[in-house]
Amino acid sequence: MKKNKLKIEIADKAGFCYGVKKAVEHAEKAPETRQRPIYTVGPLMHNKIEVNRLADMGIKTIDNPESVRKGTLIIRTHGLPKELMQKIKKNTVELIDATCPFVKRVQNLIEKLTQEGYNIVIIGEKDHPETIGLVSYASKQVKVVNSVSGVKKLKLPEPVAVVSQTTQSAEKFDTLVRELSKKYKSIKIFNTICSASNERQEEAANLAKKVDVMFVIGGKNSGNTTRLKDICSKYVATYHVESEKEITKKHLKGVKVAGITAGASTPTWLIKSIIKYMQQI
């Protein structure tokens, strides 16, 4: 009996966002154009397969950049805490700041708002590298919330300004803003979710409604990829995979149309590799 060919639909916005694409381009050029050794401060992005590929090019990941006195430091896309950046700039090393421009915009906004007297609420994950960096730009009180219960427990004097981790889900942001608006009268709201994250989430939801199964490709430690998985799971069976090794025939049993999206740190070559594998099993 002839096997029916699997149809695969791919989200247009799957894969590298602008910030990650530029960061990878900087990293790929660095071994030939910059002083060696080349380091990234923490993983350049949350995708261990791509980080390993860069490591094979001689780009090392370190967690203690203050100790580096020779070579080139690449600042990760998530940005770094303000104090650490100041220390690094005093070192006699070359510096490539690959902080995502959207993240940098939020850092500057927080700094400006606290100078104007606002206490800050950041909607995001408190242990995420981006959020840790954002917190450091507040010279007044700052709190990170990620749930309605977290908002209800908040003890922060007015006036309050609200920003978001750039890869937060729009749905969560709207939900928590409604709760914050009930709690505070003197409040300013800034939706700082990057446009690419918004578009990626909307597109993933629309695709999930039309297919038999969804595969979300990206690092298991990637916040934006996890959110894509959560969004798609509302509509169809969804699997978060880092590579083709995690996909079996069982996942595709009875499937006529499979959908694919990918996190902002997922390279095109990896997406293509997984698609090719799915077409062959």
Which residues are catalytic, by number? 130
What are phi and psi for residue 126, nearest 5 degrees?
-65, -25
What are the Cα distances from residue 140, in Å, to 61, 116, 123?
Answer: 32, 10, 17
What are the Cα distances from residue 135, in Å, to 8, 118, 141?
Answer: 41, 13, 9
What the block records as the tokens of 92 is 């006699």
Cβ atoms of 244 and 275 closer than 8 Å:
no
- Cα-Cα-Cα-Cα dihedral sign, residues 262, 266, 267, 269: negative
Cα separation, 227 vs 7, whole angstroms:
25
Please state whether the peptide bond connecting residue 267 to the residue before it is cis, i.e. omega within 30 degrees of 0.
no
Cα separation, 281 vs 241, whole angstroms:
16
Cα separation, 119 vs 113, whole angstroms:
8
Cβ atoms of 232 and 211 closer than 8 Å:
no
Cα separation, 67 vs 188, whole angstroms:
40
Which DSSP string do the residues of 77-96 spell out, in sequence order?
Answer: TT---HHHHHHHHHSSSEEE
